[in-house]
Chain A
Amino acid sequence: MDLHELEAIGEREQAQRTRLRILCCAAAGCQASGALELKRRLETVLTAAGKLADIDVTPVGCMGLCGHGPLVRLEPSGEMFERVTPADAEEIVAALEGRPCTVTRCDRQHPFFARQFPIVLRHCGQINPERIEDYIAVGGYRTLYHVIHEMTPTEVIAAITRSGLRGRGGAGYPTGLKWATVAKSPGERKFVVCNADEGDPGAFMDRSILESDPHLVLEGMAIAAYAVGAEQGFIYVRGEYPLAIERLQKAIVQARRFGLLGAQIFESGFNFRIDIRVGAGAFVCGEETALIASIEGRRGQPRPRPPYPAESGLWGMPTLINNVETFANVTAIIEHGPEWFSSIGSNRSKGTKVFALTGKVRNTGLIEVPMGITLREIVEEIGGGTPDGTPVKAVQTGGPSGGCIPASLFDTPVDYESLAAVGSIMGSGGMVVMDEHTNMVDVARFYMEFCKDESCGKCIPCRVGTVQLFNMLTKLRNRQAHARDLDKIEELCDLMRETSLCGLGQSAPNPVLSTLHYFRHEYEELIGAEGDHGS
């Protein structure tokens, strides 16, 4: 494969694009809403009308508004329909031909679409994720060619550093710095690992990216491998995501066949192969040292850092671990330049962030917004508030490691520092909206139950602390707690935060501490006269 061939494929595909097309969302969310049946029905209707030769029905990735699925979009008109049932197939075909159609149209001017800024999700819902040609048609793999033939590894790292990109997995470590460390760490072999162990309950950004645009992640990983000097990559995917795994497998096979992965990529001296490792249901494996243990076939237990994986990771070799969304940002940064990227977002948090907006909110789904947008804009404008108009009480970000931010702080801009300042974290992008009917002690208890079940059991503060906290919160909920138990809860939270071995234990108290801080009255209401039963 050379640039010529790549461009020829792109042009051939583009020529096809002038035809009428029906894009049918086939991501996991819409599949569960019956999207595949709809697609079959559309094909049947077109066949019956003798039009299947002129009109393509293309399965595409996530279009974002998952709660209103299955979604269908028409090309080239761009019209979009929601909650389309198989029975609507005839009408969709009618709409394509400009005849009247009663299926509900999505309002593309609605803030849900208008306020978004797609970089990572720019191809989602536009291309068929199971065809590499579709990806090449939108410019895919050209950045990799450019990088291999026209840039030195140092220049690539400098570009990533200048862009200000920070890890999208939660902690926000500067990506360029990580790449530079791996590049300069000595080791006979180096590895690039994509962390797709998206474990936060209430988050599905990485799943959607992998299901909708797998090649974008593969290309990002290949560029990273070129920059740090790695020849082997792994994608560690949750076992709960069979569709993402299937599409990744297909994508890797196709890329290898096209000579875009494997030996002598683009006829250069650069070799890079990618293997998939399927997780087996352990949240802690999102922690990078636990993830390494898991890829090595061991119990997913973290170890103290330093040494960091960038110096000593897989099999003791320098290992670059980035999250799916981080890799998905790479091609755009190289293509448009670091200055373009750093002009988006806020002062210290550059670019965009993908969020999974869920819970008690009208428009649930996947969104990509510039950093620095306020929580209010996300929840009220994009999300459209609660479905039944009940006032929003709080939004939870960062999953079991994050916190609940009350509605009174909704003018907080979404960036790493601001969210940390209000007692939560950016996290990987889960955003769960809670209304007045949600009891915050219950929420804290829910997360603590999660952490208790997911604690690996290695260090004492997390192993026993999570159970003790869960029991105390249960006691509280059953109105069997004393006022002094709140002090005990806070003391134990402090112990876990300061002494636990890994991020899971250190951040497990966050949901409790943030709800105690902002909604203390809900805790205190549960300590009544009845509270003395326990003694």
Chain B
Amino acid sequence: MTTSALQTDVDRDARAASDNRRKILEATMKRFQYQGDALIEVLHKAQELYGFLSPELLSDVAQRLRLPPSRVYGVATFYHFFSLAPQGEHTCTVCLGTACYVRGAALLLRELEELSGVKAGHTSADGRFSLLTARCLGACGLAPAAVLDGEVVGHADRSDLAARIRNLLGREE
């Protein structure tokens, strides 16, 4: 197979995937009968499918739910859960709830910032890693807590967490 044929295949796969996601999103909107009230539920689904909410996606949702674009944008930026920029391949969320704070979460966050070179709430330039914070994961019994690629890490030990992140990013000591 030539390189260009391979490229065409990749493009087709990508298009098919995007069509599929579009279908699922459409089904979600249909389930809510395209009612504007369902905006937040629809945005949840859109973010789950696409990873983040691009202007095109927001505009699309606005059109389908027959809502003004500014209202959709206003809602998307009101809630912390919605991200208008792509997230990194790997994410680490540090809980900054009270129990975690009292047990040194701020220090943990600072060390991870230094280690990854990424400021809290941001993604590294190469798109490999996002460092995020959460208000409270509700895992206070395990303070300090963090979530590494979807897995809750309780009693998060600074050096242990740092080692795991280094490992994820394929970096050597």
Interface residue ranges, A against B (CB under 8 Å)? 28-29, 31-33, 66-67, 69, 198-204, 207, 238-241, 277-283, 294-301, 356, 358-360, 364-366, 396, 399, 430, 432, 434, 438, 446-447, 450, 454, 456
Contacts and interface: CB of A to CB of B under 8 A. Distances in A.
Contacts of B143: 358-359, 364
Given A201-B98, A201-B99, A207 B135 contact: no
Contacts of B140: 66, 202-204, 356, 358, 364, 430
B32 to A, nearest CB: 9
Given A239-B44, A297-B37, A365 B141 contact: yes
Point out which of B38, B99, B152 has the most chain A C-beta atoms below 10 A from its C-beta.
Answer: B99
Interface string B10-40: 0000000000000000000000000111111
Contacts of B99: 201-202, 358-359, 364, 432
Given A296-B37, A297-B37, A300-B79, A200 B142 contact: no
Contacts of A67: 141-142
B100 to A, nearest CB: 8
A29 B135 contact: no
A358 B101 CA distance: 11
B141 A432 contact: no
Contacts of A203: 136, 138, 140
Which of B39, B141, B142: most chain A Cβ within 10 A?
Answer: B141
Closest 4 CB pairs of A and B: A66-B141, A281-B80, A201-B97, A280-B79
Contacts of B135: 199, 201, 240, 281, 283, 450, 454
Contacts of B136: 199-204, 240
A300 B79 CA distance: 8
A282 B138 contact: no
Given A31-B152, A299-B74, A358-B143, A277 B41 contact: yes
A359 B82 CA distance: 30
A281 B77 CA distance: 11
A256 B37 CA distance: 24
B145 interface: yes
Nearest to A457: B78
A278 B41 contact: yes
A299 B39 CA distance: 10
Which one of A283, A296, A434 has the greatest number of beta carbons of chain B within 10 Å?
A296
B134 interface: yes
B132 to A, nearest CB: 11
A282 B78 contact: yes
A297 B74 contact: no
A175 B35 CA distance: 32
Contact of A280 (B36, B82, B141, B153): B82
B50 interface: no
A239 B141 contact: no
A447 B98 CA distance: 8
Contacts of B139: 28-29, 32, 66, 204
B81 A28 contact: no
Contacts of B49: none
B131 interface: no
B112 interface: no
B145 A432 contact: no
21 contacts: A29-B141, A32-B142, A66-B142, A67-B142, A200-B98, A201-B135, A201-B136, A202-B99, A202-B140, A204-B141, A239-B81, A240-B135, A240-B137, A281-B80, A282-B79, A298-B71, A299-B74, A360-B102, A364-B140, A366-B141, A432-B102
B103 interface: yes
Contacts of B80: 280-282
B78 A299 contact: yes
B154 interface: yes
Given A203-B140, A281-B135, A359-B103, A32 B97 contact: no
Given A240-B135, A281-B79, A432-B98, 7 more contacts: A67-B142, A69-B141, A201-B98, A279-B79, A298-B39, A358-B98, A359-B99
Interface in B28-80: 35-41, 43-44, 71, 74-75, 78-80
Contacts of A201: 96-101, 135-136
A301 B78 CA distance: 9
A198 B142 contact: no
Contact of B154 (A32, A279, A438): A32
Contacts of B41: 277-278, 297
A320 B75 CA distance: 25
A526 B10 CA distance: 62
Nearest to A449: B96
A310 B101 CA distance: 37
A58 B152 CA distance: 22
A28 B137 CA distance: 10
Contacts of B38: 297
A28 B78 contact: no
A240 B135 CA distance: 9
A430 B39 CA distance: 31
Contacts of A356: 140-141
Contacts of A280: 40, 43-44, 79-82
B98 A32 contact: no
A444 to B, nearest CB: 12
A441 to B, nearest CB: 14
Contacts of A364: 99, 140-141, 143
A447 B142 CA distance: 20
A435 to B, nearest CB: 9
Interface string B73-112: 0110011111000000000000011111111000000000
Nearest to A285: B79
A439 B164 CA distance: 31
